[in-house]
Structure 1
Amino acid sequence: MEMLIIGVSLWSLVHLMKSVTPSLRGSIQNAIGEGPHKGLVALTLLGSLALMILGWRSTPAEFVYDPPTWGRHANMALMFAAILLLGAAQGASRIRQWIRHPMLTGVLVWAVGHLLANGDHKSLVLFGGLGLWALISIITVSRNEGPWVKPAKIASFGRELLSLAIAAILYVILVFIHPWIAGVPVVAG
C-alpha cells in the first residue's frame, strides 16, 4: 500500500507544481536547466506510474464499502466517455466547446467510474487520489488561465467520427490488457 500512496502522491505533486507553485517550479527549472528539468519530471512521472501499478498489484483488497450493483456497468460506460475526453484534449473537437479541460475531466470520469465499481481501500487511494488531483488541477489551472475562451477551431464531422473510432479501438485494447495492468479482468469469463 505504501508504494501506491507514494506513487499517487508523486504523480499529483509533480503535476500540481505548475499550477499551484509555479515559482518553485521555475526556481528548480532555472537551477538545473529546462532540459534536465523536463527529464527529471518525466522520470518522476514514470516512477510514479510504476509505483502505482506495483503498489496496486501487491496490495490485497480490503473492502471499505459495497459498490452499487450497477456500478460495474456504469464504469464500463464511463470508461468510453473518459477515453473520448482524453482524445478530445489532443486536438480540435466539439467537446472542447463544452468542456474546458477535457483531459482532466476524462481522468475525473475514469476515477468516479472506478469508485462506482470498486469498494476497496486501494481503489480509494488510487482512483480517489487521482480523481482529487484532477479536480484540484481543473480548479487551479482555470484560476491561473482566467476567463475561459472557447477554442475557435471546431473539428470536422469526419474528425469527430475518427475520434469515436479511435476511442472504440482503445476501449477494446484496454479491456484486453486490463488483467495485465491491474490484475483484474474487466469481463468475467
Structure 2
Amino acid sequence: MSALILGLLMFLGMHSSRIVAEGWRTQVIAQRGPGAWKGLYTVVSLVGFGLIIWGYGQARMQPVVLWESPVWTRHLAALLVLVALVLLAAAQVPGNGIKARVHHPMVLGVKVWALAHLLANNTLADLLLFGSFLVWAVLDFRSSRQRDRAAGTVYPPGSAGRTVVAVVLGVLLWAAFAFWLHGLLFGVRPFGR
C-alpha cells in the first residue's frame, strides 16, 4: 500500500502545483526555463504513475474490503465512465460545444471517472486511488475556473459538427474499454466474467 500512496503523492502532487504552489511553479520556470520544468514534471509524474500502477496491483492481491458493492453500481459506473470518456474526447477535439460549455472537460472527466469507480469498487486500495483522484479533480476544476475568471478567459462557441465528433470518439473509446481494453489491462471486464 505504501507504493500506491507514494505514487499518488508524486503524481497528484506534481499535478497540483498550480493549485497549491503557483508561485513556486512560476519561480522554477523563471529560474530554470520551461523545458526544465516540463522535464521535472514529466519524470516525477511518470515515476508516480508507475508506482500507482504497481502499488494498486500489489494491493489488489490482498484486498481490504470496506463495504459490499451492489451489482447495480457496476451498471451506473459503466454509464458514468461513458460520460467521462466523452468529456476526455472533448478535451482533445478543438472547437466543440462541450469544451465551450464546461471549459475543462478533461478534469471534469477525471471527476466523473473517479466517482464511477468509487461507486463500483469497495476496497481500501480503491478508496485511496479513486478517492484521491476525485479530490484532486474537484480542487483542480475549481482552481482552473478561478484562473479563467481572473484572466478573463473567454472560450469560443463550439460547432455542432465538432461536438458530434467528440461524442462519437468518446463512445468508441468507451466501447473499446468496456468490451476489450479494461479486461486486457486490468483483468476486470465490466460486461462479462
Q: TM-score, normalised by structure 1?
A: 0.90
Tell me the CA shift for residue 112 of structure 1: 0.6
| Partner of residue 134, structure 2 | 131
Does structure 1 conserve the Cα–Cα contact (< 8 Å) formed by 2:28 and 2:37? yes
Q: Secondary structure at the match of 2:173?
A: helix
Greater mean alpha carbon deviation, residues 177-186 or residues 41-50: 177-186
CA deviation map 1:10-34 (0-9, x unaligned): 1221111123211111222233322
Task: Measure, in 1, the Cα distance between the counterparts of 2:43 and 2:187.
Answer: 24
Instruction: Determine which of 64, 69, 72 is the counterpart of 2:71.
Output: 69
Tell me the CA shift for residue 179 of structure 1: 2.9
Structure 2 vs 1, CA of residues 123 and 45 (structure 1 numbering), >3 Å: closer, same or farther?
Answer: same
Task: Measure, in 1, the Cα distance between the counterparts of 2:142 and 2:167.
Answer: 28
Tell me the CA shift for residue 101 of structure 1: 2.1
Does structure 2 conserve the Cα–Cα contact (< 8 Å) formed by 1:104 and 1:138? yes
- Runs of 5+ in structure 1 lacking a partner? none
CA deviation map 1:148-186 (0-9, x unaligned): 76522312x332222222112211222322234323232
Greater mean alpha carbon deviation, residues 157-166 or residues 82-91: 157-166
Q: Counterpart amino acid of 1:171?
A: W
Task: Measure, in 2, the Cα distance between the counterparts of 1:149 and 1:28.
Answer: 25
| Partner of residue 11, structure 1 | 11
Does structure 1 conserve the Cα–Cα contact (< 8 Å) formed by 2:89 and 2:167? no
How many residues of Structure 1 are paired with residues of Structure 2 in the alignment?
188
Q: Secondary structure at the match of 1:174?
A: helix
| Partner of residue 188, structure 1 | 192
Q: Counterpart amino acid of 1:66?
A: E
Instruction: Determine which of 177, 181, 187 is the counterpart of 1:177.
Output: 181
Q: Secondary structure at the match of 1:152?
A: coil
CA deviation map 1:123-142 (0-9, x unaligned): 10110000100001112222
Is it true that 1:166 corresponds to 2:169 in the alignment? yes
Which contiguous aligned blocks of 4+ residues in structure 1 show a shift greater than 4 angstroms? 147-150
| Partner of residue 153, structure 1 | 157
CA deviation map 1:58-78 (0-9, x unaligned): 112211122233110001111
- Runs of 5+ in structure 2 lacking a partner? none
Identical amino acids, percent of aligned pairs: 28
Tell me the CA shift for residue 80 of structure 1: 0.8
1:44-123 matched pairs, under 5 angstroms? 44-59=44-59, 60-90=62-92, 91-123=94-126
Task: Measure, in 2, the Cα distance between the counterparts of 1:31 and 1:150.
Answer: 30
